Structure 1
Amino acid sequence: MYEFLQETVADNMTRSARSVAPEMTVGDLYRLFASDDYDAYPVLRDDVVVGFVTKLDALKVFAFTPDQMLPHYDDRMGTTVDEIMSCDVIAVEPDTNLQRVLHLMVSHRLKSLPVIDKYHQLVGIIAREDIMRALARCTKRQAPPLVPCETVRCLRLA
């Protein structure tokens, strides 16, 4: 398990991260989410990370509000990413330790983080799956034996 403490973002991130522009519409964002298996995208302006947009952000434009009980679907599809993105981006650098990334993900309930260089330019993305793969790789030798099925009590949901 101590091997995991030595793991860094650079060795585990996805380097070919997709990003979106602030001017992209929610309709285009929905199509992108449908074609990819991503839950979020970094938002870039002039190659600099200026925000982060998630599926939840894209869903919020259709939520009921006190002012408007029934959002107009077609109008909301024209909303732009810069209107819904989070500008308070939690990002990490390639030399960040994975234990630190794990702490950030758990404490802020994040599924992924953009990886940026010192100029705030996107160099990749680190996701929960990347952390899980690193943990599995580092704990292979120390993994406890599996408990036989007959000794595990099954829960039944009513």
Structure 2
Amino acid sequence: MYVRDIMIRYVVTIGIDDSVKRCAKLLMEKKFSGLPVVEKSGTLVGIVTEGDLIKRVSHFESLDVIELLGGVIELGDADQFMEDVKQSQVETVRGVMSADVMVVHPNDTIEHTVTTMLQYHIKRLPVVDEQHKLLGIISRRDIMQHLYRR
């Protein structure tokens, strides 16, 4: 059995210059945990995950607080923190995506694909051609459905 036999051919993607806000909205609407990032030509250039977006927010200066006698005293600037969060939403996917993406090819075996997923703790793999154009995606769920639907 080969990747081409069970991969999903219709893939929701995000553009490299799309906003982080649009990306987050798409992830939430579709209930996806990640999206392939493509150029206008369809060439895969990266992947962006919920984790990438969450990590982006974690780089902001946090509000420092002191808990004293059951009360909380803020030491940080709440307005600046909220401004940083708003600014992160207008940034582009290019700034938050992972550019180093593991991929598979349509003629790769399912065994090879499963081994790659397990070895690198990957949930989904983009399927590309020799020119790195996105052809589809294969996930652990696709493999499970194939293995256990019989």
Decide which of 72, 91, 96 is 1:79's aligned counterpart: 91
SS at match of 1:90: coil
Q: Which has the higher strand share?
A: 2
What TM-score comes out, normalization by structure 2 length?
Answer: 0.81
Match of 1:128 among 133, 137, 140: 140
Aligned residues, how many? 130
For residues 112-123 of structure 1, what are the structure 2 equivalents within 5 Å?
Answer: 112-123=124-135
Q: Verify: 1:53 aligned to 2:16, yes or no.
A: no
1: CA distance between counterparts of 2:116 and 2:48?
17
1:11 aligned to 2:5? Answer: yes
Match among 21, 29, 36 for residue 30 of structure 2: 36
Q: Which runs of 5+ in 1 are unaligned?
A: 1-6, 141-158
User: How do residues 18-29 of structure 1 correspond to structure 2 at under 5 angstroms?
Assistant: 18-29=12-23
Distance in structure 2 (CA, Å) of the matches to 1:24 and 1:34: 16
Superposition deviation, residue 118 in structure 1 = 1.1
Identity of aligned residues (%): 31
> What residue ranges of structure 2 are gaps of 5+ in the alignment?
64-80
Q: Structure 1 residue runs of 4+, over 4 Å off?
A: none
Return the TM-score normalized by structure 1.
Answer: 0.77
